[in-house]
């Protein structure tokens, strides 16, 4: 009886034990950090006060002028983002992502504390600096997941992480619009809600496990337990974790065994990062040397260079428009009801649908891509000029929605065309460089056009300049696209001639 009772009791305890084991297995799998990261991205994007930042700053809460906001406060974000981007990019990889995600959550909290309780233009410039820090650390959010999930899940988890931020931003915009329009909630209360959401995001970030590996400084090549045969240039490697590592070049063969945990620069400085037989920390000199070589290899590719230049130019213009469009709305619709939250929600959904549609459009972008970039850029130029000249807030709202959808449509194509021929490491490098170039151009544009120490132009004149800027981009890419089409047509005609010349003659024998 005792034995039977013991068996029964053990059987009754099995389900909880299995549940605990299942929970432990789930926490140790790639699904746990993916869920936590998505929750973090969702809450840090719920910022219902953001579409109403300019009305809040020029209202009774902060009592700033449009000129102070436009010419003295907003430029600080551009400058701080540019200065912080490169060191944050390296620190993200060296510290293995999590500390930078926690830092981003901290920066959000400080930003909203200052927005809620600080006064004066200097304090608001500090707001822009801390928000620039949060923007720079965004690279940690989007790269963390690649260090904790298998490569077969990259596409799926990338979509999930981006969708989390998209849904969060849309949710925040809708909440803000409903509270302002239906409940008459003040902008101060919206900032309290934003503060609460980013605080939840910060707490969530603390639950993320710290990855053991990263892309550059903490390599993990022991994950593949089968032979990996790769070649780059004249170098090929047969890497089996159970056997001696052998590196073979065209004129010599070198055998390397008992590789140390850390590498000195002289030993492997000529070996691509993704071929380094490492399982721990890679010397910084090796990383910097290979990053420079990868940079030269990538940007000597004419196709990649062409798409990257458009990416940087268009992103610069897009960021300027997004940063200062609220100031334009406040100027054009000074006495109108504010629907900024609803417009941001609709524009975000439109942009998402435009990006999604790219996957279902079957076009040879290598041939037609430049013409498309030029055509859409001239459309963007026209919309920005109309937004600047017209005095109807609803037209401004509508054109902004179309502009954002147009940019997201083209940037998705550009991202795809750049990424198709790159390894994960070079993908991170190229998009980091492209972002840096975009911010550098934006800094120059801001310093000359916006900053009060430069021309300090009003927002209407600024948008006319942004329209001309996109017009210049369209001219360059339409001309280049026409040349590409002509070259393609000549190549096609030549191939047809060759095919006809080598085709066997038709036998016209009499019946």
pLDDT digits (tens, 9 = 90+) for 151-180: 777 767 877 888 888 899 999 999 999 999
- Please give the distance of CA 448 from its chain centroid, rounded to a whole number: 26
> Phi, psi (5° rounding) for residue 228?
-120, 115
Kindly state which CATH superfamily the domain 23-215 is placed in: MFS general substrate transporter like domains (1.20.1250.20)
Burial of 436 by CB count in 10 Å (0-12 exposed, 13-18 middle, 19+ buried)? middle
- Please give the distance of CA 205 from its chain centroid, rounded to a whole number: 19
Burial of 297 by CB count in 10 Å (0-12 exposed, 13-18 middle, 19+ buried)? middle
Closest CA to 107 of 115, 95, 119: 115
Looking at the domain that runs over 282-500, which CATH code has it been given?
1.20.1250.20
Give me the pLDDT at residue 229, please: 32
Give me the pLDDT at residue 492, please: 66
Query: Are the C-beta atoms of 51 and 58 separated by less than 8 Å?
Result: no
Is 23-215's fold the same as 282-500's? yes
Give me the pLDDT at residue 200, please: 97
**Domain locations in the chain as residue ranges:** 23-215, 219-261+269-280, 282-500
Return the HEC string of 180-230: HHCCCCCHHHHHHHHHHHHHHHHHHHCCCCCCCCCCCCECCCCCCCCCEEE
Give me the pLDDT at residue 245, please: 38
Residue ranges, the chain, pLDDT below 70: 1-21, 23, 155, 216, 218-282, 424-425, 492-495, 497-501, 503-511
Give me the pLDDT at residue 21, please: 54
pLDDT over 90 percentage in the chain: 45
């Amino acid at each position: 009886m005792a034995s039977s009772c013991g068996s029964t009791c053990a059987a009754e305890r099995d389900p909880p034990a299995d549940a605990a084991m299942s929970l432990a297995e789930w926490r140790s799998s790639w699904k746990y950090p993916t869920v936590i990261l998505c929750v973090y991205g969702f809450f840090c994007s719920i910022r219902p006060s953001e579409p109403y930042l300019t009305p809040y700053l020029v209202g009774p809460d902060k009592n700033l002028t449009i000129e102070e906001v436009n010419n003295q406060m907003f430029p600080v974000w551009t400058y701080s983002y540019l200065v912080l981007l490169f060191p944050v990019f390296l620190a993200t990889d060296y510290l293995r992502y999590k500390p930078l995600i926690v830092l981003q959550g901290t920066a959000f909290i400080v930003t909203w504390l200052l927005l809620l309780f600080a006064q004066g233009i200097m304090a608001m410039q500090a707001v822009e600096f801390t928000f620039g820090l949060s923007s720079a650390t965004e690279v940690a959010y989007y790269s963390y997941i690649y260090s904790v999930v298998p490569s077969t899940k990259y596409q799926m988890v990338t979509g999930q992480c981006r969708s989390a931020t998209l849904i969060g931003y849309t949710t925040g915009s809708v909440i803000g619009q409903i509270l302002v329009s239906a409940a008459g909630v003040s902008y101060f209360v919206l900032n309290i809600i934003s503060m609460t959401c980013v605080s939840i995001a910060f707490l969530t970030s603390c639950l993320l496990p710290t990855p053991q590996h990263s892309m550059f400084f903490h390599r993990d090549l022991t994950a593949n337990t089968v032979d990996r045969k790769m070649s780059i240039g004249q170098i090929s490697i047969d890497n089996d974790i159970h056997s001696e590592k052998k590196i073979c070049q065209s004129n010599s063969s070198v055998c390397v065994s008992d590789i140390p945990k850390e590498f000195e620069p002289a030993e492997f400085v000529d070996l691509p990062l993704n071929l380094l037989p490492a399982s721990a920390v890679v010397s910084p000199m090796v990383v910097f040397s290979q990053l420079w070589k990868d940079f030269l290899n990538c940007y000597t590719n004419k196709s990649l260079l062409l798409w990257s230049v458009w990416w940087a130019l268009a992103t610069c213009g897009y960021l300027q428009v997004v940063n200062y469009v609220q100031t334009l709305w406040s100027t054009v619709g000074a006495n109108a009801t504010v629907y900024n939250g609803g417009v941001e929600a609709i524009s975000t959904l439109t942009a998402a649908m435009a990006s999604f549609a790219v996957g279902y459009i079957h076009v040879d972008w290598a041939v037609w891509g430049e013409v498309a970039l030029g055509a859409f850029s001239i459309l963007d130029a026209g919309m920005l000029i109309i937004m600047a000249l017209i005095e109807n807030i609803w037209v401004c709202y509508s054109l902004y929605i179309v502009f954002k959808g147009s940019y997201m449509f083209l940037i998705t194509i550009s991202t795809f065309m750049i990424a198709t021929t790159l390894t994960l490491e070079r993908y991170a490098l190229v998009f980091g460089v492209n972002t840096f170039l975009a911010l550098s151009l934006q800094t120059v544009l801001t310093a000359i056009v916006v900053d009060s120490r430069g021309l300090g132009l009003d927002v209407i004149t600024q948008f006319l300049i942004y329209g001309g800027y996109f017009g210049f981009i369209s001219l360059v890419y339409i001309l280049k696209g026409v040349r590409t089409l002509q070259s393609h047509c000549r190549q096609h005609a030549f191939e047809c001639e060759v095919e006809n010349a080598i085709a066997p003659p038709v036998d016209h024998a009499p019946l």
